[in-house]
Structure 1
Amino acid sequence: MEAVILHGGQGTRLRPLTHTGPKQLIKVAGKPVSQWVLEQIRDAGIKHVIIVLGDNIPTKVTEYYGDGSRFGVEITYVYQGKARGLADAVYKVKDVVSDKFLVYLGDNIVSYDLRRFMEFNGSASILLAKVENPNRFGVAVVENGKVVKLVEKPKEPISDLALVGVYAFTKDVFDVIEGLKPSWRGELEITDALQGLINRGKDVNYEIVEGWWKDTGTPKDILDANAFLLDKYAEKRVEGEIENSTLDGRVIVEKGAVIKNSVIRGPAYIGKGSKVINSYVGSFTSVGDNCEIIESEIEYSVLLDNVKVKGVALMDSIIGNNSIVEKGKRWQKLIIGENSSVIL
């Protein structure tokens, strides 16, 4: 059984962070979102992974994941090119999957044991979760224990059960996709493909996710995912240098990092080679690799790689790779893309 990670999409709701690369490579709790997905798939026992690439600098994805060997999997890349919908992306793997395969959106994080999901009868299986805002998602109508209808982002509420971005299919789905027409959004919708299976008398199984899940499509979603993953997986692990500093709770300090005259309150993550000097880093904060935090205070934020902050106070913020933020007296909430310089 193969697993397919969909790695396309423009990430418009995450701009400017996604102007310079795929949204799935944004780091949360020390790893890109799609790496959390990849490792979840690997830990479920699936070793052959197919990554479907979009047109937003796909070389960044191939450079990061390579052939997959350093992650304990074998990766095959398939190019979707211009985004034409999830069903179109699934169709691109027609010639490289076996009869049963898993599909996982690379910008979603679902706290669920995939080993349970991989055993299914019928032509497809989907994971669902109850939501308060179903108009943001594809939704499923379930009657008498069976999925009877699926609609993408319904304008009128028909169900509170949202598709969470994890699917399993047999090759039956390809015959349906071949006959699909673009939706009002101009895309081939995965909900229409699933509905097509139902219309042909095929069974679509489902399970409802009771635990946490997140579609990391907005800055708030990124911060929430970072907090959840830190809370769930962070442990006290110190491999860097600590000088005259306090680490309170579950704090990860990677190799080469230096913490000097500072307080770090966990759960928190400090990446390789980063420096925290005369500063405070609060709970649910992730600091990427080779960052510098000097005379600053940071709470509930994500700093990506090679970020420099000096003399600032940040909360609920995301700072893109290679960016600089300086000289802020008051608490600030910032979303800053790559290669930026901001003086407050």
Structure 2
Amino acid sequence: MQGVILHGGQGTRLRPLTHTGPKQLIKIAGKPVSQWVLEQLRDSGIHDIIIILGDNNPNKVVEYYGDGSSFGVNITYVYQGKARGLADAVYKVKDLITDDKFLVYLGDNIVPYDRFPSFLSFKGSASILLAKVDNPNRFGVAVIKDGKVVKLVEKPKEKISDLALVGVYAFTKEIFDVIENLKPSWRGELEITDAIQGLIDRGREVDYRIIDGWWKDTGTPKDILEANSFLLDRYAERKIEGEVRESSVDGRVVIEEGALVENSTIRGPAFIGKGSKIVNSYIGPFTSIGDNCEVKNSEIEYSVILDNVKVDGVSMMDSLIGNNSSVVKGKRWVKLIIGENSRVEI
């Protein structure tokens, strides 16, 4: 059973965080977004993984995941190069698919769904995961009639359905034949919705499942913060591997090996990464602190702090701070979105 993780895209809505690397490697709740995807597939019994790389520093992806052995999977990499749409990315794996059916998962999505083996047992030529949304113009949507998928439209200007494609698909190899004959959309891309519509136009059956509850396309800073909150709330367990001195650690808090918490209060769910130091500070619920960070004399709530960040004398909430940045000498609560290698004095 093979799974394909799409790891391309420019991440324009997350700039400047994505100027130096792909959005799928942004850490939430202690792991890159795409690692949550990869481990979800692995835990569902899918160990043969193909990662499709884009042109935004793809070497970072290869360096992080390697051959996949440290994650319990086997990884093959395919370079899409310049983004030409999801259907184009899927077509890149044509010669690597050996099974009759295969799974495609967008690497920047978080979908709490654990029945992938049954999802792959569909009849027909494809299967899609759907969820009801309030803003269907942001997504590809599916029109269902008499229990069948009859139409798909990418980011419709008018509301024709509230069922959005959540970024998880299953296909037979017939999808490659359809993609070969696709024409670019008005966006200049080969749309996956058009490819699935091509199957329908051929008279093929497209199965679907509607998921209940939360899911997230982590395309904006607000999405990143919400996904971090959800994952901490759902998966965080109390695990103290670092050193705690004269501090209060309440609830489901992860403090990784090599981290130090001194004269501070940590209230879970929260995550403190390896080698980080939290001194004279308060870390509130739904906050993730990356590896090798230094937080002093500060208060942080509902935020994501990436790796190698220095925070000193600042109170912040609803904030997303990029790698290798520093935020110092603040006296008020602020809301920040800061890219990599930045310094902000407040």
* Residue type at the aligned position of 2:102: F
Partner of 1:28: 28
Partner of 2:10: 10
Aligned-pair CA distance for 1:117: 1.4
Q: Is residue 2:298 matched to residue 1:296?
A: yes
Partner of 2:106: 105
Partner of 2:269: 267
Separation in 1 of the partners of 2:325 and 2:213? 35
Whether the 8 Å contact between 1:112 and 1:211 is mirrored in structure 2 is: no
* Residue type at the aligned position of 2:329: K
Separation in 1 of the partners of 2:303 and 2:211? 27
Q: How does 1:1-344 map to 2 (within 5 A)?
A: 1-98=1-98, 99-113=100-114, 114-344=116-346
The unaligned stretches of length 5 or more in structure 2 are none
* Residue type at the aligned position of 1:100: K
What SS class does the counterpart of residue 127 from structure 2 fall into? strand
1:10-62 CA deviation, whole Å, 9 max, x = no partner?
A: 00000010011000000000000000000000001011000000000000000
1:287-324 CA deviation, whole Å, 9 max, x = no partner?
A: 00000000000000000000000000110001000100
**Aligned CA-pair RMSD:** 0.5
* Residue type at the aligned position of 1:56: N
* Residue type at the aligned position of 1:103: V
Separation in 2 of the partners of 1:30 and 1:314? 19
1:198-257 CA deviation, whole Å, 9 max, x = no partner?
A: 000111000001131100000000000000000000011000000000011100000000
Separation in 2 of the partners of 1:70 and 1:281? 31
Identity, in percent, stands at: 77
Aligned-pair CA distance for 1:119: 1.6
Separation in 2 of the partners of 1:219 and 1:117? 30
Separation in 1 of the partners of 2:332 and 2:120? 50
TM-score by length of 2: 0.99
Q: Which portions of structure 1, spanning 4 or more consecutive aligned residues, are displaced by more than 3 angstroms?
A: none
Separation in 2 of the partners of 1:116 and 1:276? 44
Whether the 8 Å contact between 1:4 and 1:102 is mirrored in structure 2 is: yes
Aligned-pair CA distance for 1:118: 2.0
Aligned-pair CA distance for 1:116: 2.8
Separation in 2 of the partners of 1:310 and 1:226? 23
Aligned-pair CA distance for 1:130: 0.2
The unaligned stretches of length 5 or more in structure 1 are none
Whether the 8 Å contact between 1:126 and 1:167 is mirrored in structure 2 is: yes
Separation in 1 of the partners of 2:186 and 2:324? 39
Aligned-pair CA distance for 1:175: 0.5
What SS class does the counterpart of residue 229 from structure 2 fall into? helix
